[in-house]
């Protein structure tokens, strides 16, 4: 058997284990936060995500514990987007965002491909948001964790993927001319 193939298979298995553990932690944390979220909704007449308090608490996330994630997570998403954009340019595919908006036949496949690329990162973002909520607010609300975490990933990833593809394709055209 090929030793390189065994190492690759072992690495993929390790990545799958890490992915499963992260997703399991996210599910456990979000399920554990549901009772306090429902209690908040009952006491305040609405969910935290749609409350004025959510908007008041947003700046606390930028100054409190875990603020480094507002730099780290988008940076990793940008790196993954650049890598995917280079692959798109090599394959001759149009920019990612353009394809998402204009190619109805491939749209779902593109969304799934993008999610597969960043799913573990999105799960970490949700988990980190839940942890930072606990540290700052002493409560975890699933709605904001499911919103804020992925936003830190989705926009930088899709934008950097599209811009990198466009840049690389422009380089190829300039070299051909």
Q: Where are the domains of the chain?
A: 3-176
* Sign of the dihedral through C-alpha 85, 88, 92, 95: negative
Cβ of 104: how many Cβ atoms within 10 Å?
8
The structure's pTM equals 0.72
Is residue 133 within a helix (H) or strand (E), and if so which, with residue range? helix 107-137
Q: What's the pLDDT tens digit per position in 50-91?
A: 888 888 888 877 776 777 878 888 888 899 889 988 988 898
Q: What's the pLDDT tens digit per position in 89-137?
A: 898 888 877 888 888 888 888 888 877 777 888 888 888 888 888 888 8
Specify the pLDDT at position 77.
87
| Residue-averaged pLDDT of the chain | 84
Tokens, residue 8: 């690759």
Cβ of 151: how many Cβ atoms within 10 Å?
15
Flag whether pLDDT at 1 surpasses 60: no
Q: What's the pLDDT tens digit per position in 21-42?
A: 989 999 999 999 999 889 999 9
């Amino acid at each position: 058997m090929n030793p390189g193939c065994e190492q690759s298979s072992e690495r993929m298995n390790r990545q799958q284990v890490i992915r499963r553990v992260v997703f399991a932690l996210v599910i456990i944390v979000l399920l554990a936060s549901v009772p306090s979220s429902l209690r908040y909704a009952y006491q305040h007449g609405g969910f935290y995500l749609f409350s004025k308090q959510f908007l008041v608490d947003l700046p606390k996330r930028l100054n409190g514990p875990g603020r480094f994630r507002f730099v780290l997570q988008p940076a990793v998403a940008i790196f993954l987007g650049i890598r995917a954009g280079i692959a798109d340019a090599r394959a001759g595919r149009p920019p990612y965002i353009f394809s998402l908006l204009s190619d109805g036949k491939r749209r779902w496949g593109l969304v799934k491909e993008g999610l597969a690329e960043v799913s573990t990162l999105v799960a970490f973002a949700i988990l980190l948001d839940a942890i930072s909520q606990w540290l700052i607010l002493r409560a975890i609300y699933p709605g904001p964790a499911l919103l804020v975490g992925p936003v830190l990933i989705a926009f930088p990833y899709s934008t950097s993927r599209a811009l990198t593809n466009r840049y690389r394709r422009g380089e190829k055209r300039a070299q051909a001319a």
